Chain A
Amino acid sequence: MSPGFRARALFLKHEWVRGYTLMTPTLLCMICLMCLPLFMLFSYSFWTQNYLDIDKTFTLANYEAFFQKPIYIALMMKSIRMSLFCTFITLLLAYPMAYFIAFKVTKNKLVWLILITVPFWTSYLLRVFAWKVILGFNGVINSGLISMGIIDEPLQFLLYNPTAVVLTLAHAWAAFAILPIYVSLEKIDRSLLEAATDLGDTPTERFWRITWPLSLPGVIAAGLLVFIPTVGDYVTPRLVGGTTGIMIGNIIQSQFGKANNWPMGAALSVISMMLIALLVVTFIVSTTRARAKSS
């Protein structure tokens, strides 16, 4: 039996060999475009830079710099706090909307779903920028209030602060929160709710004992989908954040731009990624444990 023939027999006999063969181009592509670059980023964080030359001797200097300069740690913590807060607000606003579509809308659910996704499909940059237009010194709110004679001087506190960043992000990522929550609410077996009512639960009890626990997977997915990208966001803090609203993404970007210290930027990225992963894992483990305990 020739080796070629044997390979062919193996190919026809095992489904998984055929499956993996079919997936090879996609996997190769993902490895080349994701794993290799992330690995190189990781290596870069152990190097140093002298003007334009990269010194490739292994060193922990970048990580030491991170832990020695309080500004980095403070900024990292602030980014995470802002993202967590923003995720919380986004979920809080999105949940009733998802609930409404899943339980109250009987006809034209698709229309409601499309209505929610449309603003999300208009260039991210311009969605963020729209908030600058609204909140700005000469923006829509200020000029509107002045022309109506309610105020004389433009309000300064609207733009360029962490609140503006949180508001803008809650707007920009709304669809990412509503859709997963909606899907998990839609999946809930309605007969469970009827049973609870028959057994004498009030609507509030019914919500907290049945609907809420069963919608948790969607809430968790939504939380992750909003939290992870917002930590690293660069555009929103830059456009509406001002000096007090800058986040870790802006510092990472400046290391690759103005500061021209790529290894430091790489180290900051690696640290952010590790922190995010750590938070996400803790979050998932604690929620699954809490759910296992309650059931």
Chain B
Amino acid sequence: MVDLINLVQTLTSPHPLDRYLELVRPTLTAREMRAEIVHVDRSVPGSVTLTLRPTRQWKGHAAGQYVQIGVVINGVRHARCYSPVGPAGRGRHLQLTVKAHPDGLVSQYLYRNAEPGMVVDLEPAAGVFRLPDPRPERVLLISGGSGITPVLSMLRTLADEDYPGDVVFLHYAKSPEVVPHRAELDAIAERHKNFRIELRHPWRADTTRVDPTAPWVDVAPAKTSGYFDYDELERVAPWFADAHTYVCGPQSLMAAVRKIFEAEQLDDRLHTEEFTLSLAPVDADEAFGTVRFSASGVAADNNGAPLLEQAESAGLTPEYGCRMGICFSCTAVRRTGCTRNLRTGETDSDPDQPIQLCINAPVGDVDIDI
């Protein structure tokens, strides 16, 4: 197959075959993976659930992994990572639940504009936050807010497999209404008696059961401390020391869980995934943080100078030409972190973006692939 593509690309040279095919239909690609949105569900306030049909290159995902999707907003292609919420496998469809973050460019865009027929870029599933094979004997899943997506995929995978061990799923949400996929949770709770699902709404005043009809425990606990503590852990999963625990959610939740597991010396059984938002630091002019030139394994303190100069004073010899932002010889990929364009003053922190080193300065920690 690949050989055939290479052969055809002799004819389309110097342009890849996909650059022709995508003009016919965006999902008609030989090499690049895309996905078409086939269904959009906005029934849960503040989030949208997309059902995607990937092109044939899709190899499926393991429960807990994430995928990167790309969309064009005002002419610019933006990519973000989301965890599929469906059970693992290489089914024909893929489900993503996207919470519309107030400052989230892509999530807001999808929340407002996603509709069936829209085509997005799709990267293969990745990430080490995943259920191991064979499955552990007991599984504890903890999530908060939009961190529900990877653990929900784990929960649904275990349910699909008729997993015989103990499972506890503990999720924190602002209110019952904003918990996505409640129907799935219903079904799982009813069908699998060894699965225990508990929803917490720490911000609600009353301590009674919020949804008495739900087949799971759905309460606003009588605590103002908010999140998670040892008592809670003991209560929902007294066997937690024998389990593998998977946590995904906001920093505060992760920190609370980590503290307890470290104290119990169980951190090797704890698996976490952080949900980081790539937002520009407020004060872009101050020089702080570390600049890492990851391809050469060199790191240096950020001194506020353009990246090209910082690389050179760190002993590297990156390619360059004009040193004034016109020739693009110095372009390199910013893996992570935020940089400021010295000509326009604009900051940008999207991962894996090519930038001109001579006219961009790091803002805080930055990783450049040179």
Q: Indicate, yes or no, whether A interacts with B.
A: no
* Chain A residues packing against B (C-beta within 8 Å): none
